[in-house]
């Protein structure tokens, strides 16, 4: 059985790649790998100084631009400042908030950053994109539920894990509906999702909350490093796979190992939920799909 590795990354000379959250973790590994393969890699990061520090430490052509996915003004400014083609957009940045906090626009932080920020960014940049949109999701989507009556946790008590799972389910539904709309527009762009597996990255230390006890032990014994965690993203970025694929690790319930195509929950395959989420996301962000359909959306399955 053949497996995908770093050796399978093709020559990327002449390609332009944007990676959100590229200053650390699997985003940094993906950015470094693609830059070393010859791509011009744009680090789209909230903290410019950290981004510059990460970018200057790797070989290849890199650029750092400010992007705060928790601010729609920042997302719009990034997109408005873009000029030229984009071969690959990697929606990698993500947060997992333990306590309730909100974006600059008043959305629950995890949903607002992980889904709405990337939703707006992708649609605003889509006229420039010629290759792929890769969105980093998670198998946490399997326990995710979209409460359309309270997506922003304004009424029910906030719980960090369900909020994160909701955002990751949204990532997969976004990928599916994006591919359906791209197909309807006659576009050759592919939308693909990736699950990094169980990875020891800074997301576990977000907001200064460090793992302890059983969680720390599990991370130490079972988690793979960021290099392995980035492989599903890179596989989704360059492998010969169809749109709306979901890439994840091969072993240990898809939590470790080389990447392969994996399944997703029934909810993540529900066309009605995907369409409803898309409509609400357009309403929340004020951003719409920019391409004109050449055939009716109703004719295309999810």
Domain ranges of the chain: 10-284
Would you state the pLDDT for residue 221? 46
Would you state the pLDDT for residue 201? 55
Q: How confident is the prediction along the chain (302 residues), in pLDDT tens digits per residue?
A: 468 999 999 999 999 999 999 999 999 999 999 999 999 999 999 999 999 999 999 999 999 999 999 999 999 999 999 999 999 999 999 999 999 999 999 999 999 999 999 999 999 999 999 999 999 999 999 999 999 999 999 999 999 999 999 999 999 999 999 999 999 999 999 999 999 988 765 544 444 444 444 444 454 446 687 889 999 999 999 999 999 999 999 856 657 678 999 999 999 999 999 999 999 999 999 999 999 988 776 655 55
Report if pTM > 0.75: yes
204 an active-site residue?
no
Highest CATH level, class, for 10-284: alpha beta
CB 115 within 8 A of CB 135: no
Q: What pLDDT, in 10s, does the model give residues 13-30?
A: 999 999 999 999 999 999
Angle between helices 160-184 and 118-125 (to 10 degrees): 20
């Amino acid at each position: 059985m053949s497996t995908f590795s770093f050796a399978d990354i093709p020559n990327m000379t002449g390609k332009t790649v944007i990676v959100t959250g590229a200053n650390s973790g699997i985003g940094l590994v993906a950015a470094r790998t693609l830059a070393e393969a010859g791509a011009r890699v744009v680090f789209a990061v909230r903290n410019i100084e950290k981004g510059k520090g990460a970018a200057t430490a790797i070989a290849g052509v890199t650029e750092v631009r400010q992007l705060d996915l928790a601010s729609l003004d920042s997302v719009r400014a990034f997109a408005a400042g873009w000029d030229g083609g984009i071969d690959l957009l990697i929606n990698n940045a993500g947060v997992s908030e333990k306590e309730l906090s909100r974006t600059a626009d008043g959305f629950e932080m995890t949903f607002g950053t992980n889904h709405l920020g990337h939703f707006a960014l992708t649609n605003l940049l889509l006229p420039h994109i010629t290759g792929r949109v890769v969105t980093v999701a998670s198998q946490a989507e399997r326990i995710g539920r979209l409460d359309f009556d309270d997506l922003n946790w304004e009424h029910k008590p906030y719980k960090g894990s369900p909020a994160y799972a909701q955002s990751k389910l949204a990532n997969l539904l976004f990928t599916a509906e994006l591919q359906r709309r791209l197909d309807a527009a006659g576009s050759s762009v592919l939308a693909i999702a990736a699950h990094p597996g169980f990875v020891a990255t800074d997301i576990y230390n977000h907001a200064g909350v460090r793992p302890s006890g059983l969680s720390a032990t599990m991370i130490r014994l079972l988690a793979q490093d960021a290099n392995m965690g980035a492989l599903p993203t890179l596989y989704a970025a360059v492998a010969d796979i169809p749109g709306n694929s979901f890439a994840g690790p091969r072993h240990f319930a898809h939590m470790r190992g080389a990447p392969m195509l994996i399944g997703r929950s029934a909810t993540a395959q529900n066309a009605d939920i995907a369409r409803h989420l898309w409509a609400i996301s357009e309403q929340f962000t004020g951003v719409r799909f920019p391409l004109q359909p050449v055939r009716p959306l109703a004719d295309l399955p999810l």
